[in-house]
Amino acid sequence: MKNLILRHLNLIDYAIWNLKRNKLKNSLIFFIYTFCIFLVSSVLMFTSSLNREAKEILAHAPDMIVQKVVAGRHDLIEISYLDTLKGIRGISEIKPRLWGYYFEPNLRVNFSLVVPLNEQPEKGSIYIGSGVAKILKKTENDFLPFVKTSKESLLLEIEKVIEFETSLMTNDLIIMNEEDFRNITGMGENKFTDIALFINNKNEIDKIAEKILNSMPNVRVVTKSSILKTYDSLFNWRSSLVFFLISMVLVAFLIVAVDRFISINVDDRNEIGLLKALGWDTSDTIILKSWESVVISSLSFLIGINSAYIHIFLFDARIFKPIIMGWSVLYPHFNLVPNINMWTLITIFAITVLPFILFSIVSVWRLSITEPDVAMR
Amino acid sequence: MRRESIVFLVLVFLLTCLSLVLIIDAHDKNSVNKNKNTVIWVKKLGLTDLALFSDASYIRHISQSDMFAPFQDNPSSFDIFPTASLVPPTYMRERE
């Protein structure tokens, strides 16, 4: 046992010494490799944490949203629809929603105007999200001017700035009274943006959705499960956001791995031939080269995942911000709660470390099975 | 001669310990408590979407965007807004 450990320690020493001979090439491989693992792990950690938070938060969203559809487009829904909905059994609460967008031309930014389902602010008062407060440089008790559709202006007092920790959901919101909302948007009485439904027995949701669609043909029903599915597909492995980020990383990684596979140069050839001529077995040379790959890949893997954790959870995913932000003027500031499971780490390991070691072993094996004099020639 | 292998093994050991500490730390943190206030607002306002993207309305409220809207109005369409390309189109989401 002791001999086996000593043998491997010697092989590791020799492998590290060997790596040092090609300092430039190997350090380049090491940096690219570490960077690839860093990016892949950052993407997976970022999306899995966001996904978990989205699921936890949206589990409290309304069970169903009923939208009126006219000529395939979302339209304002009339109060008469409420009566039809009241006639459908199983719906415990029916709450018409009033929400819309308000464009601020000076800053070229879109805010979301929302009227609460219950407990509205008093007329003339508003609550604003922390992103709105930040971009407008306003605090509580300041006044915010709005331009009504009739081009008259309306001053509303900021009663409250919503807590900064909730900005994942409330960043761009301006919450106001129903009367102020109708005043600003010009939305007529008896009209609403859509209707939120709450259902006690969650098993009945699909049945109730079917009943609604049968009794009101010009509506679209968005259930909570489809809302959750939307966000799941946004943050899912196979979906665009992750795929977009990961594809760049995979290309870079492929270049490194293929380089390792095809670039057995004259020096490597001579070295293996010489070692075999000195009496090394094929298995010894393969173990030696495997240790070289293990040294590079284990250090890259560990440094990569640790730095990804630090990037995502201590530095708030700074590298991904511009990608997700797009052209948004308002971007929520949120501290993600880490969500790492062993499967994420095993996946990262399987798609980065294993192929790298495998590529190296195969290339060395191809050389090792040739005779020493042929290899050195 | 033995020095480098020992340094390597110690380094791997320390980095593995750091990873384990971070994983244990991640398990200890609870996002339910952190999101308590957010949930209150979601219930109060009946919110359905994250405020992640605000450059276009159909990106701001992804789950509420039109199903049958022409391509100018749908995520993953030929679009001027960069974030639209990050969101899968409605028909793909519905299919899953």
Is the pLDDT at B96 greater than 70, yes or no?
Answer: no
Q: Identify the pLDDT of residue A118.
A: 87
Cβ contacts of A330 on chain B, cutoff 8 Å: 51, 54
**Are both A282 and A349 inside the same structural domain?**
yes
List helix spans (H) across B54-89. Answer: 57-60
- Cα separation of A311 and A302, whole Å? 14
List CB contacts of A291: < 8 A, sequence separation 6 or more. Answer: A8, A11, A12, A15
**Are both B74 and B91 inside the same structural domain?**
yes
* Collapsed DSSP state (helix, strand, coil) of residue A104: strand
Shortest alpha-carbon distance between residue A114 and chain B (Å):
7
Q: For chains A and B, what is the number of CB pairs under 8 angstroms?
A: 219
**Are both B29 and B55 inside the same structural domain?**
no
Domains held by chain B: number: 2
Q: Identify the pLDDT of residue B83.
A: 67
Residue that finishes a domain, picked among A203, A223, A243: A223
Q: Identify the pLDDT of residue B88.
A: 64
Residue A107 forms contact with B (CB below 8 Å) = no
Residue that finishes a domain, picked among A174, A194, A223: A223
**Are both A76 and A215 inside the same structural domain?**
yes
Q: Identify the pLDDT of residue A123.
A: 92
**Are both A258 and A366 inside the same structural domain?**
yes
**Are both B60 and B16 inside the same structural domain?**
no
pLDDT in tens, B62-81: 888 765 444 445 555 555 56
- Cα separation of A357 and A374, whole Å? 25
- Cα separation of A3 and A204, whole Å? 69
**Are both A290 and A214 inside the same structural domain?**
no
**Are both A72 and A194 inside the same structural domain?**
yes
Cβ contacts of A304 on chain B, cutoff 8 Å: none
Domain CATH code at residue A179: 2.40.40.20
What's the domain range around A346?
2-58+234-376
**Are both A239 and A354 inside the same structural domain?**
yes
List CB contacts of A73: < 8 A, sequence separation 6 or more. Answer: B66, B68, B69
Sign of CA dihedral A120, A122, A124, A126: negative
Shortest alpha-carbon distance between residue A242 and chain B (Å):
8
Average pLDDT over residues B9-17: 90
**Are both A70 and A155 inside the same structural domain?**
yes
**Are both A291 and A173 inside the same structural domain?**
no
Give the Cβ contact number of residue A140 at 10 Å: 12
Give the Cβ contact number of residue B32 at 10 Å: 11
**Are both A256 and A326 inside the same structural domain?**
yes
Q: Do B63 and A222 touch (CB under 8 A)?
A: yes
Residue that finishes a domain, picked among A199, A223, A247: A223
Q: Are A163 and A195 in contact (CB under 8 A)?
A: no
Quick check: is A228 in a domain? Answer: no
Residue A346 forms contact with B (CB below 8 Å) = no
**Are both A212 and A71 inside the same structural domain?**
yes
Residue A308 forms contact with B (CB below 8 Å) = no
> Which residues are A75's β-sheet partners?
A68
- Which two structure tokens, joined as six digits, stand for A55? 């699921």
Q: Identify the pLDDT of residue A376.
A: 64
Q: Identify the pLDDT of residue A120.
A: 92
- Cα separation of A343 and A346, whole Å? 5
**Are both B52 and B35 inside the same structural domain?**
no
**Are both A100 and A198 inside the same structural domain?**
yes
Q: Identify the pLDDT of residue A142.
A: 93
Quick check: is A229 in a domain? Answer: no
**Are both B54 and B35 inside the same structural domain?**
no
| Selected residues 47-86 of chain B with any CB under 8 Å from a CB in chain A | 47-55, 57, 59-60, 62-64, 66-69, 76, 81-86
Shortest alpha-carbon distance between residue A374 and chain B (Å):
31
Residue B13 forms contact with A (CB below 8 Å) = no
**Are both B86 and B59 inside the same structural domain?**
yes
Residue A213 forms contact with B (CB below 8 Å) = no
Q: Are B54 and A209 in contact (CB under 8 A)?
A: no
Is the pLDDT at B84 greater than 60, yes or no?
Answer: yes
* Tens of pLDDT, residue by residue, chain A (377 residues): 788 888 888 888 888 888 888 888 888 888 888 988 888 888 888 888 888 888 889 999 999 999 998 887 888 999 999 999 998 988 999 999 999 999 888 888 889 999 999 889 999 999 999 999 999 999 999 999 999 888 889 999 999 999 888 888 999 999 999 999 999 999 988 899 999 999 999 999 999 999 999 998 889 999 999 888 888 877 775 555 666 666 777 777 777 667 766 666 667 777 778 888 888 888 888 888 888 888 999 999 999 999 999 998 888 888 877 776 666 777 777 778 887 777 778 888 887 788 788 877 887 777 777 776 666 66
**Are both B54 and B26 inside the same structural domain?**
no
**Are both A213 and A260 inside the same structural domain?**
no
**Are both B93 and B63 inside the same structural domain?**
yes
Domains held by chain A: number: 2
* Collapsed DSSP state (helix, strand, coil) of residue B71: helix
**Are both B59 and B91 inside the same structural domain?**
yes
- Which two structure tokens, joined as six digits, stand for A307? 């730095």
Q: Do B31 and A52 touch (CB under 8 A)?
A: yes
What's the domain range around B34?
1-39
Q: Do B46 and A303 touch (CB under 8 A)?
A: no
Nearest to A312 by CA among A280, A344, A283, A268: A344
Residue A220 forms contact with B (CB below 8 Å) = yes
**Are both B56 and B35 inside the same structural domain?**
no
